[in-house]
């Protein structure tokens, strides 16, 4: 490869829930694009993140965590989105958590093996290990699971090893012109990203199962003089959940709205006026028709 070779390709970032896929992609692209919380299954959609470095453009596909047990329609949707990312990509980044290799990891890797794609294993969260000597036998065990083209220990949260990952990815990208403009960082519009920021605050502020029973729909997204006006509906599945989201005297909804507005304002780099409503749509997460209406469309090949 010469210094002037132009390369561009798609990279699926896959793993079970809560291994740090979204944190890794945000670190790679230098923008907090995908929402990330400590709760599993925060990510529900495929999201493209674009990195352009001189003659190389890497298009990362962040995915929902692949999980066993498809209890509801939304779980089946998320697994289809995760596995659909393997269609027409050029290389796979398989993310696992250091010192943990579960049945879900094994099941996902078995799916990946059927693709014949080059796979880079990324062992994340090494910064939290008390004894780094434990890492070598874990990586040896992981290496026995598949013929990975390379394996890297990283900390997505701290950025350790991320530059090395970019270097490993580049040779696997095809020689072709860049697909996105140099300053593009995603294929998603701001309306979608605003909804995700609201949903992120629900995950951060609500306990137990409530965040999983919510989704967000943007009803109005309008640019006015030096600000954006956004109206959004938080959908829940039961009337009792509506009261929990609103909170006593509306305090919890106010807290979610304030933090979401601040997050969206940073994203848009301007003032934001945000209004939220909470409404009930019974059983939306287990109804294919409701999921489609709420933006959970099939995403096998959204980028080509």
Closest CA to 278 of 196, 227, 202: 202
175-217 pLDDT per residue, tens: 999 999 999 999 899 999 999 999 999 999 887 778 889 999 9
Beta carbons within 8 Å of 117's beta carbon, 6+ residues apart: 86, 89, 90, 91, 92
Two tokens, residue 152: 């890297």
pLDDT at site 38: 83
pLDDT of residue 264: 96
Average pLDDT over residues 42-53: 90
How does residue 303 score in pLDDT terms, banded at 50, 70 and 90?
Answer: very low
pLDDT at 301: 36
Neighbours of 205 (CB within 10 A): 17
Q: How far is CA 61 from CA 13, 58, 155, in A?
A: 6, 10, 19
Report, as an integer, the average pLDDT of 44-63.
Answer: 92
Which of 25-34, 59-68, 78-87, 226-235 has the highest mean predicted lDDT (pLDDT)?
A: 226-235
Residue 13 has pLDDT above 90, yes or no: yes
CATH 3.30.300.20 fits 190-293, yes or no: yes
Domain 190-293 in the same topology as domain 7-172: no
Q: For position 302, what pLDDT does the model report?
A: 39
Q: Read off the pLDDT of each residue in 123-145 and give the average, rounded to a whole number.
A: 94
Cα 224 to Cα 240: distance, rounded to the nearest angstrom: 36
Mean per-residue pLDDT for 27-45?
A: 86
pLDDT average, residue stretch 39-52? 88
All residues at 6 or more sequence positions from 289 whose CB lies less than 8 Å from its CB, including other chains: none
pLDDT of 173 above 70: yes
Cβ atoms of residues 95 and 122 within 8 Å? yes
CATH superfamily of 7-172: P-loop containing nucleotide triphosphate hydrolases (3.40.50.300)
Q: What value does the mean pLDDT take over residues 236-242?
A: 94
Report DSSP letters for 99-150, one per residue. T---HHHHHHHHHHHTTT--EEEEEE-GGG-S-GGGHHHHHHHHHTTS--SE
Domains of the chain, residue spans: 7-172, 190-293
Specify the pairing of strand 215-224 against strand 150-153: unpaired
Nearest to 267 by CA among 200, 179, 178, 180: 200
The first and second tokens of residue 275, run together, are 């209004």
Mean pLDDT of the chain: 91
Rounded to an integer, what distance in angstroms lies between the CA atom of residue 301 and that of residue 200? Answer: 25
Residue 304 has pLDDT above 60, yes or no: no
Burial of 40 (0-12, 13-18, 19+ CB in 10 A): middle
């Amino acid at each position: 490869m010469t210094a002037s070779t132009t390369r561009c390709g798609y990279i699926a970032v896959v793993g079970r829930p809560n291994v740090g896929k979204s944190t890794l992609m945000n670190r790679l692209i230098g923008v907090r694009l995908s929402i990330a919380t400590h709760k599993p299954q925060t990510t529900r959609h495929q999201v493209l993140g674009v990195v352009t470095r001189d003659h190389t453009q890497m298009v990362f596909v962040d995915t929902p965590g692949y999980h066993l047990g498809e209890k509801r329609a939304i779980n089946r949707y998320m697994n289809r989105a995760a596995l659909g990312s393997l269609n027409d990509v050029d290389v796979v980044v398989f993310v696992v958590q250091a010192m943990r290799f579960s049945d879900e990891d094994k099941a996902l890797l078995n799916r990946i093996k059927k693709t014949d794609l080059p796979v880079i294993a990324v062992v994340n969260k090494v910064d939290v290990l008390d004894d780094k000597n434990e890492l070598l036998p874990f990586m040896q065990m992981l290496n026995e699971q598949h013929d990975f083209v390379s394996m890297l220990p990283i900390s997505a949260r701290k950025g350790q090893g991320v530059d090395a990952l970019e270097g490993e990815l580049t040779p696997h990208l095809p020689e072709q012109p860049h697909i996105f403009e140099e300053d593009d960082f995603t294929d998603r519009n701001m309306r979608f990203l605003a909804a995700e920021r609201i949903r992120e605050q629900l995950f951060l502020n609500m306990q137990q199962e409530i965040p999983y029973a919510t989704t967000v729909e943007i009803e109005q997204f309008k640019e006015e003089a030096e600000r954006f006006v956004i109206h959004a509906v938080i959908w829940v599945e039961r009337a009792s959940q509506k009261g929990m989201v609103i909170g006593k005297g509306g305090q919890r909804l106010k807290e979610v709205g304030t933090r979401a507005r601040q997050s969206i304002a940073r994203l848009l780099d301007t003032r934001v006026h945000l209004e939220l409503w909470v409404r009930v749509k019974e059983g939306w997460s287990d109804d294919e028709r409701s999921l489609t209406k709420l933006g959970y469309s099939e995403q096998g090949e959204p980028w080509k």
